[in-house]
Structure 1
Amino acid sequence: MIRKSLYGAIAFMVVVYAGFWVSAPGTGDPSQYARLTQNYDVRIVRDKYGVPHIFGDRDVDVSFGLAFAHAEDDFATIQDVVLATRGTLSTLKGPDAAKTDYLIQWMGIWDVVNAGYETRISQATRDHAEAYADGLNYYVSEHPHVVAPGVLPFTGKDIVAGFTFKTPLFFGFDQDVAKVAAGEYGTGLDKTAALMVTDAPQPDLGSQGVAIAPARSGDGSTRLLVNSHQPLTGPVAWYEARLKSNEGWDMAGGTFPGSPLILHGTGPTLGWANTVNKPDLVDVYELTLNPDNGNQYKLDGEWRDFEISDAAIDVTFWGPIRWTFHEPIYRSAHGPVFKTEEGAFAVRWAGMDEMRTLEEMIALNKARTPADFETALAMMAMPSINYVYADKAGNIAHYYNAMMPKRPEGVDWSGLVPGDRSDLIWHGYHGFGDIPKTVNPPSGAVFNANNTPYVASDGDGSALREDFPSSMGIETQMTNRALRLVELLSDAEQVYDHAFRRIKYDNAYSFMGEEKSLAFQVWHEVTGLEFEDAELREARDYLFGWSLTTDASSEHAALGVLTVTPFIMADMSGEPRPDPREAFEHAVRTLKDNFGRLDVPWGQVNRLVRGGESWPLSGGPDVLRAVYAEWDEEAGHLEATAGDSYIMFVEWDAAGAQHVRTMHNFGSATLDASSQHYADQAPLFADERERKLPLDMVALELEKTSERRLGGAGN
């Protein structure tokens, strides 16, 4: 772990294991990268909303162009992502980033990448990553003032390592690490005391994908909804791009800073949506230490020596003043180890030695048939993430993709695992044929909303729970969004386009069926409470009038959503639920203190904010129109920070023609408040409208706002 000595040194500037120095490493000469365009030929055309459409003869040309275009809009975030991946973010961000820097070294990310970069991924994958790095380096040659000291050059290894680091965070790896580091194991400490190893918003608030087959669509079309819920800004916020090469790469959709391809979206013949899934992919082993030698642990009746290495963490305090902190990293046969006051615990997780994720993602980007798509997934190089799939031929599917360890049966893998038996140290993963999947079900619909794969349709055809061993740790829960999808799809015999949009923008909590939403359960409990205070009794009676919808115009939704949100967020984060009476009283006080009444329209409370403007929003936590917000004390209202962000509707009509509508929560200019594209999509997003994506050159030329040629004839 990052021990108390390190935190004490950072907090009080008392250096225990530190080397002091006052200097800043040089960046090198950015102008040396100006010649990189000689190796590429790329055309970047920005449409009416500033979204880059990037064209090149080769895949590497397009990768180079994507890096340059994204850097134009969000270089600072890309730079932060790369520094975090290197474990050197503290050199730029100071002590707050030390936890992330230590985690990178503790995980052994760079050991894996350095050992396998030349042998475990193809030359084409390396070329792709290095072209993206070249695009960043070239951008810096034109804007040398933006780069931080010591960053240059960006490298292909940076890009590959980014996937190795970030993908486990989506299945909650960092949260399990936090529990161990905080000493929760062995003490039963409340998770609220856990050390969070990353300070960024957690990328697991929700997502949904829905696909409709031609037989169900009413007009012979195939329909796909791509609707991931992410933070609205930062390192895992969506950026839209369209990418096309003459080597078969043709994708439009969303990507993250530092990612050299489309993470989910559509090509001309198929597309997919991703949602977070969280099977049990992390195991914590309780080790027995040698009482005479704390650097040894027991395994199969013998004392084994820990492998011990040094984590060097450079932390900037003021200007050029930096310290280098040194912390030991212990590693057992199981994996890296935390030594805490409660004992020693080793951690083993899915993908801990995986570096082929980018290669799999490239194969998905270039897939054109169901066989191509499944062949790419069969690499099993993506530690987790659901795929909701649809294609031009009318095929639809849900794949509960994950690298699920091949664990021995008969062991409770959900808790602490004995660390003194080598037979419990798993090796290898279940193959693609073993994972739950729902392909072309008879209902003609598939979906996922962070729910169990055993409910992937509103009819038969989903994977069956009895077909999968408990050791795979597959989820069994249903979210409100999943409950609503079952209800809404069951009510729609045919899912025309208007019905599809209505389903996506549904903003209600479920109160029907045997399994009711958490929001309904809280509403039912609170309305059953008795209050001595007359004001609270009146508020309770007012809550009776809430229909469990979150329309911006609703005058009951504000009290309802503010009451139930703490319960929903507690369940999502694994925290204890609050007391219903206290949560309700807090909701009442919030509305009375800030608005003077209970019947304030929800859209006055729930706002999309960008710069100096704001717009009313329908939606709330865990509804299909997902909005997660934080209270702005100065403004006196909620500000949306996560949830619905990049939205894509894809349709292949009965004649095979493709139609794509998209919308971003703000706009393509992520950081430049002076740009016309800083917030140009926000009003449409708040109004639940989309724009048609220009996929053919004629349409693109008609709405082109700028064009840039890099390399080739542009030299």
Structure 2
Amino acid sequence: MRPAQRTAVGLLVVLALAFVALATWEPFAARRSFPPPARAYTAEIVRDEFGVPHIYGRTDADVAYGVAQAHAADDFTTLQDVIAMSKGRYGAIRGAEGAQVDYMYHLLGARATAERRYPLISADTRALFEAYAAGLNDFAAKHPGEVKLARLFPVNGLDVAAGFALRQPFFFGLADVIGPLVEGKPLRPEAGPPIPGSAPAAPAPAATVEPARRIAAAMPLPWGETGSMSGSNAFVVAPKASGGPSVLVSNSHQPWKGGVAWYELVVESGEGWHFAGANFPGSPYPFLGHNRHLGWTNTVNRPDMIDVYKLVLDESGTKYRIGGTWVPLEQRTVTLPVRIGPVVLPVRRTVWRSAHGPVIKNEQGAFAVRYGGIDRLDQLDAYYRLNKAKSFAEWEAQIARMAIPSTNFLYADETGTIAYVYNAAIPQRTPGPNWRGVLPGDDPALIWTGPVPYAALPKYVNPPSGWLFNANNTPFSAAGRGSDLASTVVPPEMGVELGMTNRARRSWRLLSEATRGGGKLDRATLEAIKFDTGYDAAGHVAEMLRAVRAVDPRGDKRLAEARALVLGWDRYADNIGRGDALALMLNREYMSSSYQGKPWPDAEKELTKAKDHLLRHFGRLDPPMSELLRLRRGPGPNSVDLPLDGGSDTLRASTLWDVAEDGRLIVKHGDSFVMWAEWYPGQRVQSRSIQPFGSATTRPSSPHYTDQSTLFVQHRMKPVRFWRDDVMANARSRKVVRHRPER
């Protein structure tokens, strides 16, 4: 063999070895988890006519084991994604997008938080998490062909808990701070009113970051209401206002698939755990819903939960100053796995931490971030106790722990009590400094150590109006004239938001009108409000109409027609008005600017874009909106393609969508799991629910893949089979699952 040939062969061998190494290194480098402690579990899974699992067990831990088995049978692919996130391995599945999540996992120290805090959680709560992990392990062992990533299993309770530690800060907007710091973009304005007498805010830090660093950017994240295009509605009504039952309407707006898509279930154990509701993938219990005595739902709130500090570094960049002392900056080098085709690249990154919290370095310096709920994990226990609460006093005692970092809670129960708690672990800040700006990192007095007391939070219990709502708006508009709290009940440094959404304006007005003069919020009236598709001429809608009115078509006939259609729009996204389709497309951009605090869009540009889209795909400017806005899932034997109504920031929400090749807008975020519970005096609780698709969320061949879709688009709900006799009368399948530890 000639030297040149030997060189070529050698190069090929080296390349082949390199390819094999890149294709196989990641599972061997990944952290290996010990399996949960040896214990036997037995659960019965009964599915009703819509495939909703009803999970029974002798103990709560038995039920948690069954929850994992039932959910995996319907959506094992998403559960694996969540587990990969909780181990810092999501990039090995989803490439650069997954590496963004893995970077956050390391930056926030999610694993370290779980390792410190999980052992301190009560033993019965940890037993749920270990049982849930065992259920995932058993499903993976029985279905090896579905496992996405080598050595992802076994998992244990601590792994599941690490997922909670990773996700919890993003529901109050941490990504909106971390992302810009990493990418060198300006920070968004923080929540809350200005603080009187405080110093002007320091300039927002910015930097030019090399392109390779963008793999570690914090946005976008695959979690629900973490971005600014978010929303949920919640209503609770006391018997005096309904004319009959206590009512809880849970109307969460989440993505329709993925890590925070709702999964409906009913659980019941011999230890008194009996609850109907929904959870997210990776949770052994529901996060909202009802038991026989009481129920609650959540909406995202946005108080000022995050503080940014500019650190003073020494010349080496390895120490920062606190008071008069130089302290070493904690530093770790981590490896992010990034899948590109058949190979996984190891990308090395450095993460830093100070006494304040995670640290991001850019060309403007080093910035530390501190947020409410930092280094806490007791929400694992609080949610479990909420599930089993039997009275308002028991329920409120768990909320008062301040263990759940954020989200509003709206509550109703069998006694007729209704309540709204603006729940948030808001930092206990001292008056004086400008907490809305970038703070000096060398002042130890600015490093707060805990949340405000529970008594300081805005809250309502049994307001005179007899009703409460929230639609991601200020808590000072919640109960109607004469019942609303004044914003002066909280100090400005708490950063409680003052803004209103269109959904909030509509809710307040429609609820007030319905109960004026002794009117009642009966079921039909409340359903009409919940499914309302109207917009008030205020906020971003008023700005959109003002801007369109100012557009000069300059002889462009079709642009003039489009302008006239929008200006003549009836402000309802109900598939009736001729301007509905055009207004739908424009409104989302204006809502986005409003929610994100960005400059308003260019009205002429957006109107032209919408005009061109409709002419290209429909040949007209005024197609029925239902032909444009679609609920679509498939292909497969159970595929659906159905018309939708509602829009961005309507009570009937169709918030976010993807644009299909045929020009249709395929909704992916909006009304998701809807539950309606009622407690009539002297009767058992009854409830109804609906989802956009079905229980078998990633099983296209299942009849429960899309079997709720037709009801969903028709504004109808299905019965929740809460009671065992009702479940068995409507059962479609029964299965017993068992775990027997190896000897």
Counterpart selection for 1:502 from 528, 549, 565:
528
Q: Post-superposition shift, 1:22?
A: 4.0
Q: Post-superposition shift, 1:196?
A: 3.6
| Aligned counterparts, 1:14-33, within 5 A | 22-23=24-25, 25=27
| Aligned counterparts, 1:468-507, within 5 A | 468-493=490-515, 494-507=520-533
Structure 1 consecutive aligned stretches of length 4 or more whose deviation exceeds 6 Å: 32-36, 190-194
2:292 is the alignment partner of 1:241: no
Change beyond 3 A, Cα 1:296–1:693: same
CA distance in 2, matches of 1:605, 1:545: 19
Letter in 2 for 1:461: S
1:430 aligns with 452
Question: Quick one: percent identity of the two aligned structures?
Answer: 37
Q: Post-superposition shift, 1:221?
A: 1.1
CA distance in 2, matches of 1:127, 1:94: 34
| Aligned counterparts, 1:363-378, within 5 A | 363-378=385-400
8 A Cα contact 2:207 2:363, kept in partner: no
Letter in 2 for 1:575: K
CA distance in 1, matches of 2:207, 2:611: 28
Secondary structure of residue in 2 paired with 1:405: coil
CA distance in 2, matches of 1:635, 1:252: 39
2:575 is the alignment partner of 1:542: no
8 A Cα contact 1:27 1:149, kept in partner: no
Q: Post-superposition shift, 1:325?
A: 3.3
1:10 aligns with none
Letter in 1 for 2:575: A
CA distance in 2, matches of 1:191, 1:451: 35
CA distance in 1, matches of 2:207, 2:512: 40
Q: Post-superposition shift, 1:165?
A: 1.2
| Aligned counterparts, 1:259-408, within 5 A | 259-290=283-314, 292-319=315-342, 321-408=343-430
CA distance in 2, matches of 1:311, 1:575: 34
CA distance in 2, matches of 1:174, 1:592: 37
Q: Post-superposition shift, 1:323?
A: 4.0
8 A Cα contact 1:54 1:242, kept in partner: yes
2:648 is the alignment partner of 1:648: no
Change beyond 3 A, Cα 1:165–1:559: same
What does the per-residue CA deviation read over 1:463-512, in whole Å, with 9 as the maximum and x for residues that have no partner? 3311211111111100100000011101112100001111100011113x
8 A Cα contact 1:207 1:276, kept in partner: yes
CA distance in 2, matches of 1:524, 1:574: 18
2:134 is the alignment partner of 1:134: yes
Letter in 2 for 1:405: P
2:57 is the alignment partner of 1:56: yes
Secondary structure of residue in 2 paired with 1:456: coil
Letter in 2 for 1:285: Y
Q: Post-superposition shift, 1:215?
A: 0.4
2:680 is the alignment partner of 1:624: no
2:123 aligns with 123
Q: How many residues align?
A: 686
701-710 or 569-578: which moved more? 569-578
8 A Cα contact 1:33 1:141, kept in partner: no
Counterpart selection for 2:255 from 222, 225, 231:
231
Q: Post-superposition shift, 1:364?
A: 0.6
Letter in 2 for 1:135: G
8 A Cα contact 2:570 2:577, kept in partner: no
| Aligned counterparts, 1:79-94, within 5 A | 79-94=80-95
What does the per-residue CA deviation read over 1:566-621, in whole Å, with 9 as the maximum and x for residues that have no partner? 01022223433211222222222221221111221110111111114211111000
1:45 aligns with 46
What does the per-residue CA deviation read over 1:597-647, in whole Å, with 9 as the maximum and x for residues that have no partner? 122111011111111421111100000000023342412110001010111
Change beyond 3 A, Cα 1:524–1:24: closer
CA distance in 1, matches of 2:328, 2:36: 50
2:602 is the alignment partner of 1:579: yes
1:253 aligns with 277
Secondary structure of residue in 2 paired with 1:117: helix
| Aligned counterparts, 1:655-674, within 5 A | 655-674=682-701
Letter in 2 for 1:596: G
8 A Cα contact 2:428 2:448, kept in partner: yes
| Aligned counterparts, 1:5-20, within 5 A | none
2:487 aligns with 465
CA distance in 1, matches of 2:528, 2:207: 41
What does the per-residue CA deviation read over 1:255-287, in whole Å, with 9 as the maximum and x for residues that have no partner? 111111011111111111110011111111011
8 A Cα contact 1:523 1:564, kept in partner: no
| Aligned counterparts, 1:694-705, within 5 A | 694-705=721-732
2:267 is the alignment partner of 1:208: no
CA distance in 2, matches of 1:660, 1:672: 26
Counterpart selection for 1:569 from 592, 598, 618:
592
8 A Cα contact 2:35 2:154, kept in partner: no
Letter in 2 for 1:211: V
CA distance in 1, matches of 2:50, 2:301: 32
8 A Cα contact 1:164 1:351, kept in partner: no
| Aligned counterparts, 1:550-561, within 5 A | 550-561=573-584
Question: Which runs of 5 or more residues in structure 2 are unaligned?
Answer: 1-14, 16-20, 187-202
Secondary structure of residue in 2 paired with 1:308: strand
CA distance in 2, matches of 1:325, 1:559: 45
8 A Cα contact 1:34 1:138, kept in partner: no
8 A Cα contact 1:73 1:671, kept in partner: yes
532-541 or 101-110: which moved more? 532-541
8 A Cα contact 2:206 2:363, kept in partner: no
2:9 aligns with none
What does the per-residue CA deviation read over 1:669-707, in whole Å, with 9 as the maximum and x for residues that have no partner? 111111101110011101111011122223222221111
Q: Post-superposition shift, 1:201?
A: 5.6
CA distance in 1, matches of 2:403, 2:673: 25
2:190 aligns with none
What does the per-residue CA deviation read over 1:65-109, in whole Å, with 9 as the maximum and x for residues that have no partner? 000000000111111101112112123333332221121111111
Change beyond 3 A, Cα 1:94–1:184: closer
Letter in 2 for 1:326: R
CA distance in 2, matches of 1:222, 1:50: 28
Q: Post-superposition shift, 1:712?
A: 9.1
CA distance in 2, matches of 1:191, 1:630: 31
CA distance in 1, matches of 2:248, 2:522: 12
Secondary structure of residue in 2 paired with 1:139: helix
573-582 or 446-455: which moved more? 573-582
2:189 aligns with none
| Aligned counterparts, 1:590-605, within 5 A | 590-605=613-628
What does the per-residue CA deviation read over 1:538-585, in whole Å, with 9 as the maximum and x for residues that have no partner? 222222321100012332211112122101022223433211222222
Q: Post-superposition shift, 1:304?
A: 2.6
What does the per-residue CA deviation read over 1:391-438, in whole Å, with 9 as the maximum and x for residues that have no partner? 011011111001011111111111211112111111111122221101
8 A Cα contact 1:211 1:222, kept in partner: yes
Secondary structure of residue in 1 paired with 2:449: coil
Change beyond 3 A, Cα 1:188–1:113: closer
CA distance in 1, matches of 2:575, 2:264: 27
What does the per-residue CA deviation read over 1:507-543, in whole Å, with 9 as the maximum and x for residues that have no partner? 11113xxxx2421331233134332122222222222
Secondary structure of residue in 2 paired with 1:226: strand
Q: Post-superposition shift, 1:350?
A: 1.1
Question: Which runs of 5 or more residues in structure 1 are unaligned?
Answer: 1-12, 14-18
Q: Post-superposition shift, 1:314?
A: 3.3
8 A Cα contact 2:65 2:133, kept in partner: yes
Q: CA RMSD in A?
A: 2.6
623-632 or 232-241: which moved more? 623-632
Letter in 1 for 2:590: F
